[in-house]
Structure 1
Amino acid sequence: MARHPSRGETAVEGRTPTVYDVADRASVSIATVSRVLRTPEAVREATRERVLAAVRDLGYVPSGNARALAGRKTGVIGLCFPDHDALEEEDRPAGAGAGGVRVVDDRRRGAAPSSPNLYFDEVLRGAEAEAWRRGFALMVAAGRGPARDVVVNDVAGRCDGLAVLARTVSDELLTHVARRLPVVLLADAARAGGDLPDGLDHVSVDNAAGMQALVAHVVSGLGVRDVVYVAGPADSPDDAERQRGLLAALDAAGLDRAAVEHVRGDFRRDAADVAVTGLLGRRVPRALVCANDQSALGAMDALRRRGLRVPDDVYVTGFDGLDVGRFTQPPLTTVAQPMAELGRAAVRAVVARLTDPAAAPLSARLPVEVLLRESCPPVDTPM
């Protein structure tokens, strides 16, 4: 089993490296180091790379108030999510922030995508509750592109431990930060269990088993042979696990894996709408198995515009168990994962690591539940 990274391991004579050590190693001023860590685009590439190399070599993490006055705990746990724009610029009310009222014909937005952050909202809710219960504050960070690493590095210097959604930041940065404080990965079953290559703690859900049970209901229980899978992002560990469950169910039913078409929904309602609309221009499958609930909602939007009925014409399933799925027309059959519990478990893992830094890496996998509703009903439901 891979060894958990030791806290405080550095290349500066066994002591915690400082900004002065980084500046000396890179032959720059401390002001330049600060600019690289906070506004990297403002520094020439050669200088930036030299400073970042020194940061990596020394294991330096920026200090938040000198890491709570040189050694005292901050009482803060960090939670890192990918960044999402809440509103596109063209959707922002004119003169936002200046008051006033405007009247809008909202009928044209009837199929507009709902918030892409519903999954993250649930995870955050659980993490907040558990952090409060254990006497910690929760600091939430979001970023994208080059700024993402800057944000994560900054937050790492302001907290006692960090929970990071899988693939939000690079493995290299995670390993770097884990040299100084506990890091827990959420929703990364691809590397969970057995010999963890990065030595980090992992908390995930049983994606494969949930999708296998759901698809078994579709292909074995309902006898469907024409299935299209609306996939998530290509680099998503969750989607990789769910596709494994899909294939296992097809194998068990004696169906040809190659006969199941895949279209890309990227876990987004609007992207799934576009993908399914394109599919319907060619043919109408009997079932759409979607990688998450947001994709299922987008698929239902596309079906509705074509005048196709769910479940009479097409079965639709999702994955996540978002509350919104209970109120769609018809209600959405889905696999409910314990999103709030995922956040709580991540905080518990950080606290456990703070309590016992030398413990073996944790790999926790939470159970899921298949919820059969009207969009793909139980076998004995009259049609």
Structure 2
Amino acid sequence: MSEKTPTVYDVAAHAGVSIATVSRVLRRPDDVREATRAKVLASVRELGYLPSASARGLAARRTGVIGIFFPGFDAAWEIPALSDAEDGLVRMVRDSDDQWGQRPPDLYFDAVLRGAELEAWRRGLVLMVGVGRGADPEAVVRDIAGRVDGLVVLARSVPDEVLSSIAHRIPVTLLAGPRRGDDFDHVSVANSEGMRALTQHLISTLGVSAPRYVGGPADSPDDVERYAGYCEALRLAGVDPATVPPLRAEFRREIARELAQQLLAEGTLPRALICANDQMALGILDVLNRAGIAVPGEVIVTGFDGIDAGRASVPPLTTVFQPMETLGREAVRMMADRLDAPESEPVSKRLPVTVLLRGSSEG
């Protein structure tokens, strides 16, 4: 007959503390005195105790798990397939800037997720990540929503009616984008203000009369706000935005390369390309550098996000840095607060951004 599985009651008796103290040690160890924490953890190890998520959830009506849903991964189209081939444990290659597909993907979703993980860990919560695949993310969203206490979702990545249905059962926090008549908590960044400031700098300080905007998907809430900031800067300079129609590259580096190659072939490269994210700006730099086009001497290129790859590009990329890690942390903080006070009023928070002037615009 197998030995009896130890319970939280056994740990409390073994350590000579209350069940509540054992729970605090396992959920919020920093809230417990070091000596008590050490005694409880020694009992946990000696007894071989493992916390039961299902039992804990039944007792507290919570699982201690928060979900976060992204519609996809940054640069997912560039991720190579795994191989079973074993052709040696060491390879030697000559590294060069010409190898477009070999840059590390330290990108927007990575930074947001890192922040969410940090804040969940700090609060003694577990983070469950769901990533959409295919044209319909509803099945993934509903599946993860059935397993968690609350759900963080990128704005406009899930149909409104699906989110409304989920919100009847668990709280929902939206990342990015303005409030649109909903009752969700929102956390976003100063997209329009940041893009307006950058565009005004190019026009007023650098003398670019009509910079061209390179946008992502037209229905992206981030892109909508950034394009609005760009248009506002044009109007303030006396330029009608309708005379400078936007270009589109879907927030993707390889599509931006194709766009840049098309502009080169047509001879229609503008004096400045203001990109709605860094990935597109880096794709354009790839092509201009290979074609021998001087940046910023002949063409100015700017981005938005502030990913690490922009600092290491040639030349370093002028961009609007958004606090992506803080965005993830704030989303989890909002969710934790909502779980503690479910009847409180909806909250919206906009985080500040920083325009980083670098070599791709400043020479």
For the aligned pair, the TM-score class normalised by the smaller chain equals 0.7 to 0.9
| CA-CA distance at 1:100 after TM superposition | 4.2
| CA-CA distance at 1:261 after TM superposition | 3.6
User: How far apart in 2 are the matches of 1:87 and 1:79?
Assistant: 18
Cα distance per residue 1:98-132 (max 9 Å; x no partner): 67457778779622374667100000111111111
User: How far apart in 1 are the matches of 2:291 and 2:246?
Assistant: 20
SS at match of 1:198: coil
User: How far apart in 2 are the matches of 1:105 and 1:310?
Assistant: 25
Return the match for 1:154 from 121, 143, 163: 143
User: How far apart in 2 are the matches of 1:126 and 1:158?
Assistant: 21
Match of 1:297 in 2: 282
Match of 1:258 in 2: 242
1:117-156 mapped onto 2 (5 Å cutoff): 118-145=107-134, 148-156=137-145
% identical aligned pairs: 54
User: How far apart in 1 are the matches of 2:106 and 2:72?
Assistant: 10
Letter in 2 for 1:81: F
Q: Is 1:335 aligned to 2:320, yes or no?
A: yes
| CA-CA distance at 1:337 after TM superposition | 0.4
Letter in 2 for 1:292: N
Match of 2:347 in 1: 362
Q: Per the alignment, do residues 177 and 316 of structure 1 end up closer, same or farther by CA in structure 2, a change over 3 Å counting?
A: same
User: How far apart in 2 are the matches of 1:108 and 1:375?
Assistant: 16
User: How far apart in 1 are the matches of 2:216 and 2:56?
Assistant: 39
1:201-280 mapped onto 2 (5 Å cutoff): 201-280=185-264
Q: Per the alignment, do residues 115 and 220 of structure 1 end up closer, same or farther by CA in structure 2, a change over 3 Å counting?
A: same
Tell me how many residue pairs correspond in the alignment: 309
User: How far apart in 2 are the matches of 1:75 and 1:233?
Assistant: 35
- 1:269–1:294 Cα contact (<8 Å) kept: yes
| CA-CA distance at 1:67 after TM superposition | 9.7
Cα distance per residue 1:328-366 (max 9 Å; x no partner): 111111000010010011001101111111111111111
Return the match for 1:199 from 183, 186, 199: 183
Q: Per the alignment, do residues 182 and 87 of structure 1 end up closer, same or farther by CA in structure 2, a change over 3 Å counting?
A: closer
Match of 2:175 in 1: 186
| CA-CA distance at 1:239 after TM superposition | 0.3
1:47-196 mapped onto 2 (5 Å cutoff): 68-69=57-58, 72-84=61-73, 91-92=80-81, 94-95=83-84, 100=88, 110-112=99-101, 114=103, 118-145=107-134, 148-189=137-178, 192=179, 196=180
Letter in 2 for 1:312: G
User: How far apart in 2 are the matches of 1:132 and 1:250?
Assistant: 44
User: How far apart in 2 are the matches of 1:340 and 1:209?
Assistant: 20
Q: Per the alignment, do residues 181 and 90 of structure 1 end up closer, same or farther by CA in structure 2, a change over 3 Å counting?
A: closer
Letter in 1 for 2:247: V
Match of 1:55 in 2: none
1:3-82 mapped onto 2 (5 Å cutoff): 68-69=57-58, 72-82=61-71
Q: Per the alignment, do residues 87 and 369 of structure 1 end up closer, same or farther by CA in structure 2, a change over 3 Å counting?
A: closer
| CA-CA distance at 1:259 after TM superposition | 2.8
User: How far apart in 2 are the matches of 1:108 and 1:326?
Assistant: 14
Q: Per the alignment, do residues 88 and 312 of structure 1 end up closer, same or farther by CA in structure 2, a change over 3 Å counting?
A: closer
User: How far apart in 2 are the matches of 1:155 and 1:261?
Assistant: 40
- 2:74–2:105 Cα contact (<8 Å) kept: no
User: How far apart in 1 are the matches of 2:95 and 2:126?
Assistant: 39
Q: Structure 1-normalised TM-score? A: 0.74
Letter in 2 for 1:209: E
Q: Comparing 287-296 with 321-330, which one deviates more in the overlay?
A: 321-330
Q: Structure 2-normalised TM-score? A: 0.78
- 1:113–1:269 Cα contact (<8 Å) kept: no
Unaligned runs of 5+ in 2: 1-52
User: How far apart in 1 are the matches of 2:164 and 2:237?
Assistant: 42
Letter in 2 for 1:164: V
Q: Per the alignment, do residues 154 and 202 of structure 1 end up closer, same or farther by CA in structure 2, a change over 3 Å counting?
A: same
User: How far apart in 2 are the matches of 1:156 and 1:220?
Assistant: 48
Q: Per the alignment, do residues 221 and 113 of structure 1 end up closer, same or farther by CA in structure 2, a change over 3 Å counting?
A: farther
User: How far apart in 1 are the matches of 2:227 and 2:137?
Assistant: 28
Cα distance per residue 1:185-242 (max 9 Å; x no partner): 00122xx2xxx52211111101000000000000111111242211111110000000
Match of 1:34 in 2: none
